[in-house]
Structure formats: C-alpha cells, structure tokens
Chains A and B, each alone.
Chain A
Amino acid sequence: MRIERRLLASIRPASRDLGLTILLGLISALITILQAYLLSRVVARIFLERQDATAVLPLLLGWLALALLKMPLHVAQHDRAQSGANQIKRRLRTHLTSAIVHLGPQWLNEQRSGYLLISLTEGMEALDAYLGGYLPQLVLAAAIPFAMLVTLAPIDLVTALVLLVTGPLIPLFMILIGDRAERMTVQRWRSLGWLSAILLDSLQGLTTLKLLGQLRAQSERIARAGDRFRHSTMEVLRVTFLSALILEWVAMLGTAIVAVEIGLRLLYGRLDFEAAFFILLLAPEFYAPLRALGARFHAGMAGFEAATRMYDIIEISSPERPVRAHTAGIIPREIAFERVSFSYPGRSLDAVDELDFRLRAGEQIAVLGPSGCGKTTLTKLLLRFIDPDSGQILVDGKPLASIPLRSWRKQIAWVPQNPHLFACSALENIRLARPEASFEQVVRAARSVGLHQELLALPAGYDTPLGERGLRLSAGQVQRVALARACLKDAPLLVLDEATANLDPLTEASLLGMLRELLADRTAVIITHRLGTARLAENVIIMESGRVVQAGTHASLLETDGPYARLAVASGRKR
C-alpha cells in the first residue's frame, strides 16, 4: 500500500476528522455485527421455536433501531471524511500557491502551464478520494475484519480460522494484480493523450482542415485514435474486472467453505442454528472492507501520484522567508550593473555578458537592439525574476539581493510587452497595484492613455469583466491597460519593456506626450525598437548579443560614427 509520507506529515490538523471517520466506520461495522446477531436470534426463534410476532417484537424493534441508526452514521462518516480532506487540501493549496509565487516567473516559464494547472485542479480532486476514501479504508480494512475475528472466535473457532487464512489472500492478490493494472493504466493514459492531442490540433486547425477540404479524412483519423483508446481502456478494465473477479472468488470461496463447514457440523449437532446463521450473515461482511479497499485502490493511486507531484513543487521552493515589516519607501539614488552575466539553463551562450551601466535617480535610459540581444533579460534581472550568474547589481552601493523583494518591487512600475489581464472588471484590472484608488483616479489614468472612451463603450463600462472568459481587448488596448496600471502605481522607477510595440504608430505618437509627463522626475529603463520612444530618454544604450556596444546621450551618439548615428541618419533619410 502506498502512502505519501510528506502528505501524512501534514495530516495532523485533520487527524480528528479522519479519526472520527474511522471511528464511525467501526461503529457501523459494530452495528452490522449486532444486527446479524439480532436477526439470527429472530430467525432461530421463529423457525425452530415457532414463536409468534409478539414474542420476537422486542428483538425486531432493536434491530430496526440499529437499521435506522446506520444512515445518519454513514452520512456523518462521509461528512467527516470530506471535512478532513478539505482541511488538508486547503493547507496544501496554500503551501503550493505560495511555493509557486516564491519560485517566480522564471521557474514558471520552464513549466508547462497546462500540466501545472492540472496538478492544481484535477490533482486536488483526486486527493479527495485518497484522503477521504483510501486512507480511512486502509485502517478499516484492517480493523473491521479483526473485530469480526474477535467476535467469532469464541463462538466458532473453526470459522475464525477459515476466515483468518482466506482473508489475507485478498490484499495479496490485489498487490499481484495491481502491478499489472498500473502498467496498463499508463498505457491507457498514453492513448488518451494521443487522442486528446489529435482532437486538440483538429479543433484548433478546423479552419485549416476546412480550407484544405480535409474534414472528412480527419474525422476518420479521429475515429481510429478513438478506437485505439477504447481498446486500451478495455484492456485496463479487463484487468480490473479480472482482479475484482478473483477477489470475489476468494470471498465467495471463503463464504462457501464456511457455509459447508458449518452446515456439516449442524448436521451432526455440533453447532446450533442460531450461531450458524449468525456466522453465515457475518462471513461476507468479513471480506467486504477488504474488497472495498481493492475498489478504492485505483482512485487512491491517482491521489497518491497527485500528492507526490505537488510535494515535489513545494520541496524545490526554498522555505518561505519571514515577511519583514514594510521598509519605508527607500527611493534608490543609483542603480549600477557591474559586469553582470547571465545565461539560461541549457543554453551555452550568455543572454547578457558582462553588462555594465549606471542609472542615477531621475535619469532615463533607453535600450535599443535587435531581438535576442538581451534586453528582456536585463529587465528580468532588474525585476529580480532572475539573479546574475556573475557580477552584481548594486542599489545605492548595496547588493540588490540584500533588499527585501517586496519593498524593492514596490519601487517599480513595469509595463511588459504582453501584460496579463485578470478575470475581473476593467476597473479592478487597472487598479491592480493600488486597490484603494478611487474611481476618479482610475478614470484619470485611463484618460491619460486614451482608454477612457474605449472602456466606456464596453457593454458594462468600467465594470465589464475582462480576461480569459471575459471580453477580449485588442493587443494595443491591453498594453494601454498596463500603462494605466503603471500611471496609477506612481512608483519612482519605471520599466517599459517594449511597452509601445503593439500600439498602432498613430496611437503611439499620441501617447508620447503622456509618456513624457509620466517620465518626468522618474528613473526609467525604456526598452524599445522605435527611435520615437527611445527619444523619451536622454541616454541610450545599444545592445548586441548580450553586450553594450554603444552608450551615451542622443546628442553625443549622433556625433560619433556608430550604429546609433547610422540608424538616426538612415531613418531621417527614409522619412
């Protein structure tokens, strides 16, 4: 039986609930034993002693009371199991989300977000079956048969011995078949993956298929993959059903041996009917919890896998650092990159190579260069999504790494090339960084990026839900939402990463004035492909292949022969 040790460690807060679940299960089993006892008495009295209804009525009423008790017990058992599972899941999810937040964007980049999402949602669901079902059943499968043996042994030792010998066969066969079932299950997942892949690219490529007149042919391909999936599913089921058949046979064999064995002793008068009937009623109940464990085995497996995946994520994120009291807004006076190098794992070339520059408070710097030259890596370093492999970034002479992340990021407003819209209203999306901002402040920010009228035109104005399920804005509009966020955040350091790339040139031109206002008195790093946007900053860095090839003011660079001057001259001429 597999148990996730790290999960067990976090079970403590729910141990009362899970303990109650087990206790309730035991009480139910006890009631079953009592009911069997009462029923065997009733039957014996009517059958052999020819008593009438009034004579057995007290026994029957007792039996009825027990029968009525079982339903609330069963409901309570489910209730506690779920409540225990919920508590553990809540803790686990909290740990997992803070682990993801802690691991940060660079780690996320290396993950497949679909896979991660499945771990977080479907995996959590699978835990229900594991925590609320499989784990308590693991205890019950040991405790209930044991209790029955203890009850039966004084009544009839022979039967108790028969059960004691046949009982362990069930978990034994379960383990033997479980291995094979697991292999087949893997096979089945593979063909489901195959089918999903075919379906997904067929659905995403519907228009292409239609334009090429290939819908019919693709549908046949899907049918074939579907058949393959059906076959491998049936293979898994065949094994599962076969294992159920064997377990059933073991249980049946046990019951049949008991029935014949007590029958024969009855025949020779070595056992009375009441005890025999009691034993006959209990024999199947002896095997029931073991078989129930077998039935929950697969659901338990899925939960076990999910838990393992989740704890792997939690473990690689280093332990949470204590959140320090908010350091009062230190406004950095100077940021210096000193021979900073960084390369992404698995790539030989440095993304930035001995990067060296300085940025003083109130100064703006534009970074120009072709795609892949290291501009975006520079921002990631500045935002501390990644840390340098060598060299250091100094803020007022102190290493950046020594400043608490939170208070450092508080100083920065960032406008990325592809900002994320959250599943909330346009209003909430704009005041992401300042949830306490008034509606008027939000409107002012939206107005300054020319978004106010466009937002008013949405079905519910500023309250229109945006994001995945909501309305889709154009890339240019999304970028202006991010600019409005930055306006509202009002931080001393501004980082614009291709912030105007998705804007139409006419819209860009109309925003330059506003951007200039936003930049006044602020420290800023502006990454861009466009000279117009670059001119917002007084200083320029030109980067190629991870290195700075030219740096200076616009004026000084124009006078030196180099890429910048060639660029300016050429673009002036083209105009």
Chain B
Amino acid sequence: MILRLFRLSLPYTGRMLLSVLLGTATVAAGVGLLSTSAYLIARAALQPSIAELQVAIVAVRAFGLLRGILRYLERLTTHSVAFQILAHLRTSFFNRIGPLAPAGLAGLHSGDLLTRIVSDIETLDDFFVRGLAPLGVALGSALAGAFFLATFDIRLGFELAGFFLLGGLIMPLIMLALSRSVGSQLILLRSRMQVAQLDLIQGLPDLLLAGATQRQEDLLAKLETTFADDQLRAARLQGFAEAIPGLLTDLTVLALILTLIPRILEAAIPGYMLPVLLLALVASSEAIAPLSETFRRLDKQTAAARRLFELADRPVSVQPPASPVPMPDRYHLEISGLSFRYHPGEPLALSQVDLRLPQGASLGLVGPSGAGKSTLISILTRLWPFEDGRIFLGDVDLVSLDPAAVRARMSVITQRTDFFTGTLRDNLLLARPQAGDDELMYAITQARLSDFLSSLPDGLDTWIGERGLTLSAGERQRVAIARTILHAAPILILDEFDAHLDHPARTALLRTLRELMRSRTTLIATHRLIGFEHLDRIIVFEGGKITSLGTHEKLLQESKWYAAAYAAQVQEVMVEELDSVHVVRKSAR
C-alpha cells in the first residue's frame, strides 16, 4: 500500500528532490544558526579580539534570515507537489470509476464515493507532506551530519547516525505498530456515531412517536464514551510520539558529551567545540521531529489509500468488444431467452424474457416495483453485462457493438434527471456539445420550456444545480426532454420518468412526450399506467417474468395486477383532480 502511494509521487521526483534539498538546507541553516551562536559566545569567553568574532556575528544573522527563507520555500514546494499529486489522483480516480458505473459501483452510496474522492484523497496530503518529504530530509541530514561529526571523531559520526536511525525510522515504525488498532477503531466508531446521529436527525418524528428518543440519545452517549476512551488512548500515543525526538536528542547529547570529554581534555578537539557540537545536534533534531507523529497517523492514510485503490482496481463490467461491428441503420429490437441475476447466488432479476419491438413502435413495460423493468433497461443501455440470452438491435448482436455507440443511439429519461453545477446552457450542451443557440432554442421550444426560460434572470446563462436555481420536478423532466431533442437519437427510453411528478405535471409532460414518441422507437418502463392506454403494446412484468402482454383493453381483462393497479390509480387521479374541478367551478360562478 505504502509502496503504491510512493509510486504516485514518482512523476514528480524532480520537485520532490528539490523539496528534500530545501528541507535539508533548512536543517543545515538551523544547525548553522545555533552552532555559530554557541561558537560566538564560547570564543568570546576566551576574550579574543573583536575582529575574530566579526565573521561569527555576521554568520548568526545570515543563518537566521536564511533559515526562515529556506523553510518558507521548502514548505511551498512540498505542499505544491503534494497538491498536484492529489489533484492528479482525483481526476484519475474519477476516470477509473466512470467506466465502472453503475454495475461496478452497486451497493456504494454516493455519499461514500464523495468521501473517498474528497476526504480520503485529502487525508493522503499528510503522507506526501509530512511523511515522504521529511523522510528524505531526515536521510539527507543524517548523512551530512554524520560525515561532518566523523571528521572530529568517527564515534561521534556513529552516535549521530544511531540517533537518526532511531528517531527517523525505528521509533516511527514502533509508533505505527502501536497505533494501528487505535486508528482503525476510531475510524470505525466515528462512522457508527455518524449513522446514529443521522438516525436521530432523520428519524426524529418516528422516534418521538415511539417514545424512543431517550434510547437513541443513550446509544449515542454509549458510542461517545467508547470513542472518548479510544481518543484518550490516541492522545497518550500522540504525547508519546511527540516526546520521542526530545528524549532521543537528550540521550544523544549525553553520549556526545561523554565521547567528547576525553578528546577535549587531551586537546584533540578544541574546548569551544563542545557547546558548538551540542547545539548543532539539538538543531539537527528538527529533521526527525515530525516523523514519529506522522507514522502514528499513517494508519489513517493507508486506510484511506486502501479505500481508493479497492475501488480503482475493480474490473470494468461491460467491456467493449475488441473489434466492434459497425452500427446498424435500422433500430428494431429483439430479445430472446434473456435471464439475468445481479450477483451469483441471488434470485433471477429477469427470467426467460422474450420480446420484439418494431422500429418506430412503442412498448410499455409495467409491473410492481422491483419486477425487473429497470433491470431490462440497464441491460439494453449496456450499463450491466448479461450472459444468458441474446439481444439484437437491427438484426445485429448487441454484444458485438461498441457500448458507447449503442448509447449514442439512445435517449434515456430516468426518474431523476441529473443536473451538473453550471448554467442551463452547460446542462443542455451535455447532450450535444457542438449545438448552437438556435438548436438550443428549438429544443427549448419543443420541450415547452420557453415560458420557463423567459422567467429566468439570465436566460440560458442562469446558474442551476447546487446553490443555484432549484427546478421543480416537472421542469427537470422538461430539461431532460430538451436534452433528448438535442441528442436526436432514434431510440427513446423512459425509465420511471414520472415517479416524482405530481398529477398535473405528469399529465402536461405526457402531452409533450407524445410528439417525441411519434418519430422514435420507444420503450417506457413505469408503474403509473394512466396516460399510456394508447401504447401499441404493454408488457406486465412480475417477479422478473413476463406475466401478460397485449393492449390496454386486453390487459384489463387478463392481468389481475394490471386491472387492480389501474383501478387504484384512476381513484388517485380523481382525488387529485378534485381540486381542479372545484377551481373550475368556482371561476365559472
């Protein structure tokens, strides 16, 4: 995992090295500052002429100024490289999961995906900024420092190398091992607390009526106590990790003093070097200072990386054929013996489905929710792979066609039309990036959006989506229709497009759709039956099987589900229309 993270930084080796170099230079300047200060007063104590100290006085100031600047440059370089890596990671992660959707992402909540692509990637910042570069700085400082000290006495060199090895590698690894269980436990508990909080917020009405708010609060308090205990353990570990560099520095100071005493007494090393070398060591400990604490947190970073890689490594479920057959120019559809299950071991979502849809005809797929209507559409649009059975589009086997080309021939309107942060124009252009304003206006007129458009403050350039204009369900679906017109595909697929529409909006939308259907091969999956009585053919799905098919009149006689659902919906519609009847009557008076 760590190696794989490391590999992400390889394209930026040059700038990583630069930041390591700057970091090492910063440490060196710090060493220079403290050791020349020590040199200054140690030499002064011997009371030489002031001229001998001039250089040291200037050097103290120079090192001081330089250190700050070097540190500033080092931090800028490190962070800017890290953010470039993260930005790259974000885009490539998106590019990886695009082809996976939706089959490869089943069972993943979009909130979870967002956490991965935002928070998890942000978490990795720590790895590149406080883990990778400082390791390089520690290595660089260790080498430079050890060689420098070895020129006085080889033992001093070894002592410093040992100090860096312990503080820069061994203790951090020990911290990593110690904190492993605590870190993942905290992450787990945090998500459980989040769920309990959300239950309290979103389930509050149910809890109030059940008199169960106290129990939910108790559950939260219990989770919090465990969480607090773990946080306490983590805090102690953090205290431990933070104290490590200091303790090691002190121990090394002790070792240095003991090694230096005899050398100074025998005058092999001048006495004023004692304070100089001691402060040089203290200053160099800056190079290992962050590492123990960083490694303590590494657990969180590897957990984040694991979540990212796990997703990026999933296989693409609908692979395009190696050499796709050219697209047919006829668009009749034939399905024979199609059976499908989402996952091995699960019951069949579709079983032995046969159907034919002539070019230009319209077909309704109806049935209770979960009966397999939307599954069939996901298979036709090549979002899910299928194995049993065959599908032909214009007499060509669907599997031998390029999935992207198949999708280009289909316009799909689903129950929730997605909008993307941007202007209305941006959102329309998605369907036809090269469309000019006249084409957009044509689509808008056809989708009966003209009144809506003229009500917008900035027309086509009005901002919609998050923090922009909110559209009503009916307006959203009209934008979807405008997209469909722009897309100009010969096959139209409506997948529960009316699930969130109230009755008047739905009725108005159906009128608009009827014109679109006239020139297209149309497939409509819905559980709302009213308004589709005129379809050429309607198929009733129940439990993944076709249980009846025929015209509206025929199904009223033959399908128990169809007759019951139709009757119930007629009532609902009449209740809905009470209001309009009443209003009309009032205005007539």
Contact = CB atoms under 8 A, between A and B. Distances in A.
Interface string A106-120: 001000010011001
B205 A105 contact: yes
21 contacts: A42-B257, A43-B278, A46-B261, A71-B244, A75-B236, A76-B239, A117-B198, A117-B201, A202-B420, A209-B430, A222-B91, A256-B60, A259-B40, A263-B53, A266-B47, A276-B45, A369-B575, A412-B209, A414-B206, A433-B209, A567-B571
Interface in A207-230: 207-215, 217-219, 222-223, 226-227, 229-230
Which among A211, A276, A420 has the greatest number of chain B C-beta atoms within 10 A?
A211
Given A195-B118, A571-B571, A71 B240 contact: yes
Interface string A520-559: 0000000001111000000000101100010000000000
Interface in B365-384: 368-370, 381, 383
Sort chain A's interface into a size bin.
35 or more
Contacts of B224: 89-90, 93
Given A201-B466, A206-B98, A370-B579, 14 more contacts: A47-B45, A47-B272, A75-B236, A77-B239, A207-B414, A208-B417, A215-B99, A219-B91, A249-B64, A249-B65, A370-B575, A416-B206, A423-B196, A506-B368
A209 B420 CA distance: 10
Nearest to B318: A210
Given A113-B202, A203-B110, A245 B41 contact: no
B360 to A, nearest CB: 22
Given A259-B41, A267-B44, A412-B209, A199 B239 contact: no
A82 B117 CA distance: 30
Nearest to A79: B236
Given A79-B232, A423-B195, A468-B198, A212 B221 contact: no
8 closest A-B pairs by beta carbon, nearest first, are A205-B418, A78-B239, A420-B203, A82-B235, A433-B210, A67-B250, A273-B45, A266-B44
A266 B113 contact: no
A215 B503 CA distance: 34
B204 A105 contact: yes
Interface in B313-368: 368
A461 interface: no
Contacts of B574: 567, 570-571
Contacts of B397: none
A81 B235 contact: yes
A515 interface: no
A101 B261 CA distance: 71
B243 A435 contact: no
Interface stretch (B155-163, B402-410, B546-554): B402-410
Interface stretch (B14-22, B437-445, B561-569): B561-569
Interface residues of B, number: 151
Contact of B228 (A52, A86, A489, A508): A86
A210 B407 contact: yes
B56 to A, nearest CB: 8
Question: Which of A46, A197, A203, A229 has the most chain B CB atoms inside 10 A of its CB?
Answer: A203
A337 interface: no
A78 B235 contact: yes
Given A117-B197, A201-B419, A211 B243 contact: no
A223 B206 contact: no
Nearest to B58: A260
Residue among B42, B79, B578 with the highest chain A CB neighbour number at 10 A: B578
Contacts of A46: 257, 260-261, 264, 271, 274
Interface stretch (B66-74, B146-154, B175-183): B66-74
Nearest to B578: A563
Contacts of A505: 561, 564-565, 567-568
A86 B261 contact: no
Nearest to B40: A263
A343 B198 CA distance: 28
A166 interface: no
Interface in B30-59: 33-34, 37-38, 40-42, 44-45, 47-48, 50, 53, 56-57
Interface string B400-437: 00001001101010100111110000000011010000
B369 to A, nearest CB: 6
A526 B335 CA distance: 45
A39 B217 contact: no
